[in-house]
Amino acid sequence: MNIKEIHIRQTNSNDLEDIIKVENLAFGSIEESDLVKNILNDPTSYPVLSLLAFYKNEAVGHILFSKATIENNSDQSKIHILAPLAVIPKYQKMGIGGLLTKTGIEMLREKGTEIVFVLGHMDYYPRYGFTPDAKSLGFPAPYPIPEQFANAWMLMPLTPSGVKIAKGKVKCSEALDKPEYWRE
């Protein structure tokens, strides 16, 4: 497979079956697909950006960005959280996750999003521009992250001027606002 053969597009209401299949295969359980369904059905998650990656008309990857805010901040900056990113195992380590991440980040930038957060693998996301330990930069996660995993809570400014929004605790959508989703 050549990465140039991957087609990425925004999802629509007819894609739920493909999204669930990708999430279940990628994570080996229904927990992530249940989370995705809940985020997609949660009005506090909007605006979302949901992308599917296809190889020869087969859905092989999915990424979801949902709305976030800064607690006690009246500034209505556009903020998103990346959760989750999924690639079917037989297509992992081929660049599809990176392509989904880069495409999503660029689309969010074009829509005016100022900053994206992720709780993820400390060796993976910095490759795409995420800065580890967002808490130390003034943006604690919705739930405490154990100190040994502090670098897993990351941010990426999408504006040329960097992080210019008021600092504070990140507040996620109701669907994502459960302690079990905030353990790395």
3 state SS of 165: coil
Gap between the Cα atoms of 34 and 23, Å rounded: 9
Chain centroid to CA 163: how far?
18
CA-nearest of 39, 61, 43 to 51 is 61
Torsion-angle region of residue 162: left (phi > 0), alpha (psi -120 to 50) or beta? left
Fold of 3-182: Aminopeptidase (3.40.630)
Residue 175: CB atoms within 10 Å: 21
Residue percentage of the chain with pLDDT more than 70: 97
pLDDT at 74: 66
β-strand pairing of 115-119 with 79-87? parallel
CB 25 within 8 A of CB 115: no
**pLDDT range class, residue 76, cuts 50, 70, 90:** low
pLDDT at 47: 94
Report helix angle 16-27 to 31-40, nearest 10. Answer: 150
When the pLDDT of each residue in the chain is averaged and rounded to a whole number, the result is: 94
CB 131 within 8 A of CB 156: yes
User: For 14-36, how does the pLDDT look when each residue is reduced to its tens digit (9 = 90+)?
Assistant: 999 999 999 999 999 999 999 99
